[in-house]
Structure formats: structure tokens, C-alpha cells
Chains A and B, each alone.
Chain A
Amino acid sequence: MDTLSLSAAECFEQVMEFYMPMVYRIAFTRLANRGDAEDVTQEVFLRYFRAGITYQSEEHRKAWLIRCAVNCANSAAGSAWNRHRAAGDVLDNLSEQNGEAGYSDCEESFEKTERRTAVLNAVMRLPDKYRTVIHLFYFEDMSITQISGATGLGESTVKSQLSRARKLLKPLLMEYAGYTGEVDF
């Protein structure tokens, strides 16, 4: 498969256009950096293209892409560059990202924007292994079984990680957004 056929290229572009935001969000949730998230996204789709697997269904394709994105993000997070990068860099990237998001919604509702930014900041303050599970569970609407299959972790591990992530999120949400009421997870 040295060159991409036209039909395959069209199919590949459609797949990329459809699943690229999902892969990018997973990578960003894990790495908290735009550039790294883009690199991981490209690597995932390049692998998808080179694998040439015939998928039985879209769920199968989606599961493969999520699994590949998690693995690539973990590999990138474990690289020497990311391991020795200062934590302040991550926070700066987050602040920049949150600022852009805030500007986009600023005109409609400053309060909503502040709340969403606070939620995202709180999630990003979680440990790395919890962020992926939270994202897959709450954003991708994946079940514990699906998350277990996508990340390679056991179901009980996924459950415990979700439970601990929720416990950690409560004080973080109160700290960033000033929530005083109950948080419905």
C-alpha cells in the first residue's frame, strides 16, 4: 500500500474529518498541550492508514481509534521531553486554551464561560491516569467495559479510578468555580 487510491483516500479523509476532533480531545486531555495533541492525532491517523484494517462496524473503528489515541498519548506523555518539561508550561498552555475558549463564549454568557473553564481546569488538575477515564466516561459516553477495552485496564480499575477522580474533582471544582452546592456526577 505505497500509494493511496482515490476511493481509499476519500474514505480516509472522511474518517479523519469525522474522528479527528475526538482523537485530538483524547490526546489533549492526556497531554494538556496543543502541539503534542496535534502530533499524537497525526500519528494515530497515520497508523490507521498504514494498518489497513477492515472494520466490521463504526463502533469497531471508533474503538480502535480511541485505543490507538490512548496508547499514543501515553507514549508521548512518557517521552523524555514530556517527562522533563516543567509543570508551569502545562499550566500556561491550559491558561491559553481556556482564555481562547473564554473569549469565544464571552459575548453570550461570561458566567457560563467561567464555569466551563473552571470545570476544564479542574479536570486538567487531576492526575494523568484519571483524566483519560473521566473524559471517556463523561464526554465520549463510554461504559466502563468499553473504557476497559479501550485503555487496556481492568473494569474494577476503571471503576476505582473514576471514583477517585470524582473525589478529587469536588474540591477542585469548589476551588475554581466556587461551587457550594452538590455536584451531580
Chain B
Amino acid sequence: MNFKEEYKKSADSISPDKEAIDRMKAAVLAKAAEGPERSAAESRTLPLKRIAIIGGAAAACAVITISAISLLPSIRSANDLVEEASSSAVSMTDNAISDSSAANDGGDKPQMACAGFCSEESACADYDATETDIIESVEMAVSAAEPFTAEPEAAEAFPAEPSAAGGQVNDYQTEQEEAHAFTAAVTAEIYESTYECVDTTAPVLPSQTNTDAGAAVQLPGTDGVMTASEPDMPDEAQDDRKEEPTELAETEETTELTDDGRGNPTVGWSPDYVIETAEIGETLDAISEEATSEAGYYETYEAPAPTESSAPKLVLTGKGWLTYDGERYNEDAEIIPAEPPELIVKRQNVMDKRFYYVNLDGDILTLYDEKMNFIGAYRKR
């Protein structure tokens, strides 16, 4: 059997018939007539992920913008409300301050009113000038002072005496006099006003302006010299101030000598202590006796025995080594002590809080339990 021939004959039978060929040709021609195949770029699926990210970002931006736009008016209105409230509060405070200052320090004591509320213009009951007014007045004063400097020259050119000019006063003289008067008035006003406002900023006012001080009195033998008297104080306060020196003087007298004329052994002690002891009824003898006993106690004072905290620390690790007084000791099985020595120290183990007897001989530490049973020997590392 020849497979090639047999296969060719059998494969011929699977060839498409005429109808199938025509059908396929028509389909191909129809598809070809439709035009070129869409390119890969055109047929590519939409980048949904990218679109989602960009869209989400844009939406977030839009939301933020819209919320900001919607919130701005409310924020502005809130700010306006806050400003109104603060301004009204300030104005109310100013009014209250001015009223109180006017009520307390008005009239014949305007300087105190300014002293208390120098920063508030409205607090000055008698002076309403603002800073700009002060500056303007100063400038006016400076400009008005210029004729003052030129006055001697003008005086040389134009005699001041009316008689020098034959009893006639010219216009220039009149203007100068008016200017002089005006300048003097303005300067006085400025000095007064600036003194009031500038001086009131000082923390301490001169004694002349301190109206709280007592009334001025004339001391005997001083003609026309007025001195400020002591300020009026409550009677109780005066009593307190007067009692202290008297009491201290009495205390000093009592500390110098005892009742029987001997020297007081408590000299040099603090008066407070004496006062305290006197208050509880003890006599000076008792006090001296107590002081003597205390002194003897302190002379015979001995250092206390080392406490548990100051004793060397024993730390049994249970792993073949321990630490004693900060030193490490490794267990040495070759060391076999004969008997427990007489001088042995009882220490408490930090780990289990049990007491052990420790004998330290050079670098070798032997350990016994509470019943003096040998536990182990350790050598310093």
C-alpha cells in the first residue's frame, strides 16, 4: 500500500466544492470591500483604569472647589460677626473705662485718669486729643516757634518799644506779638497735653501728682515748705506695724540675761525658737537643759549600722555563678572548705529573698544556707 497515493486521493475528497468556494470568495470580497481593518490602536480597549484615576482626581478637585466656594461666604460672615463682636466689646470696654475714670478721677485730678488708662484716649476725661492731633500740634508749635528765633533780628530791624517807632505799632509788630502769644499758648497747651499723655505712660508718677498721699502739711520751722504726710492707713494695719518692733525689743532684752542675773545660755538661738518655746510655757532653764541634752546627743552620735540597702548585694543566678558586691564569682567545684568559719556574714539573696551565709576569703567566696550547710564555693572572675 502506497500511503502517499492513498492519502492524496482521500484528501482530494475533503476539498471544498464549487458552492463553498464561491461562498468563501464572496465573503472575502465583501470583507475586503468594507475597507481596511481597524488598526490596533483604534481597536484597543479603553484604558478604564487610567480613566477611573483621572476621573476620580477631577471629581475630587471639583468637590473641593465647590465646597470651598460654598464655604467662603459663611467664613466671611463669621469673620464679620467676630469683628463686630470684638469692636463692640472694645467700645463697651472703652465706655466703661471712660465712665469709671470720669467717676473716680475726673474733675480736679485729670492726671490720674490718664495715668491709669494712658493707652486709651477716651479714658482721658479732660483731654480728647488723638495721636494725630498731638503730632499736628507739635508741628504747629515747631512752625510757630520759628518766629521766636527770628524775633531778635526782627527786633533789631523793628524796635519793640512803641515809643521807638514814634508810638506807632506797625503791622509786623502786631503780627509778631500775636504769633508770640499764639505760640506760647499752643506750646503751653502742647506741653501740658504731651506731659499728660507721655508722663502718664510712666509707671510711677511724681509724688506731687500722687493724690493718694496725705494732705500736704507744713512742718514747723519750714516756712512755706510743704511735705507730704504719711498716707492714711487703716488702724489695724498701723497696729500691726507698730507691734512688731516692740516685741522684738523685748525679746532682745530677755535674751541677754536670765532672771537670776546669769548669762543666758540660749544666747544666739533664733528668736523664733525662743518665742515658740515661751509660747508653750517652758522656762529658760528647761530650754537650756534641753539644748544641753541635744548637744550631748549630737556629740555622742555614732554612724548607724549599714542598712540592708547599703550591704553588699548577693545575687545567686543559679547558673554556676553569682555576684556579690558587684563582683562576679564563678563556681569552683575544686574548692572544698573544711568547716564554716566563725566570721561569716548573713546576706539576703536578691533573687529568692532567702538568707545565706557568705564567707569571703580573698578571691574565694563560700556560701552556706541558713542552717550553715555548705552550698558552694566561688572564685572571683
Contacts and interface: CB of A to CB of B under 8 A. Distances in A.
A92 interface: no
Interface string B315-326: 000000000000
A185 B21 CA distance: 31
A46 B13 contact: no
Given A45-B28, A181-B1, A139 B13 contact: no
Interface in B25-49: 25, 27-29, 31-33, 35-37
A145 B37 CA distance: 33
Contacts of A45: 24, 28
**Prevailing SS type, chain B contact patch:** helix
Contact of B3 (A42, A112, A119): A119
Contact of B6 (A1, A28, A116): A116
29 contacts: A2-B35, A4-B29, A12-B29, A12-B32, A16-B24, A17-B21, A17-B25, A21-B21, A29-B14, A41-B24, A45-B28, A46-B31, A50-B36, A101-B10, A104-B13, A116-B6, A116-B9, A116-B10, A116-B13, A119-B6, A123-B10, A134-B7, A138-B3, A139-B11, A173-B1, A173-B3, A183-B1, A184-B2, A184-B4
A97 B20 CA distance: 14
Contacts of A38: 16, 20, 23-24
A173 B27 CA distance: 38
Nearest to A134: B7
Contacts of A25: 11, 14-15
B371 interface: no
Interface string A92-104: 0000010011001
Contact of B8 (A17, A139, A182): A139
A120 interface: yes
- Interface hub of A49, A120, A182 (most chain B Cβ within 10 A): A120
B11 A120 contact: yes
Contact of A50 (B25, B29, B32): B32
A17 B22 CA distance: 9
Interface in A1-52: 1-4, 9, 12-13, 16-17, 20-21, 24-25, 28-29, 38, 41-42, 45-46, 49-50
Interface of B: 1-4, 6-11, 13-16, 20-21, 23-25, 27-29, 31-33, 35-37
A125 interface: no
A180 to B, nearest CB: 10
A138 B58 CA distance: 65
A105 interface: yes
Contacts of B25: 13, 16-17, 20
Contacts of A119: 3, 6-7, 10
Contacts of B37: 50
B13 A42 contact: no
A105 B9 CA distance: 11
Contacts of A115: 6
A119 B4 CA distance: 10
B6 to A, nearest CB: 5
B49 to A, nearest CB: 24
Given A120-B7, A138-B7, 17 more contacts: A9-B29, A12-B29, A13-B25, A28-B14, A38-B20, A38-B24, A41-B24, A42-B27, A49-B28, A50-B32, A101-B10, A116-B10, A117-B10, A120-B14, A123-B7, A138-B4, A182-B1
A120 B31 contact: no
Contacts of A182: 1
B32 to A, nearest CB: 5
Given A20-B16, A120-B10, A139-B8, A42 B33 contact: no
A135 interface: yes
Contacts of B2: 184
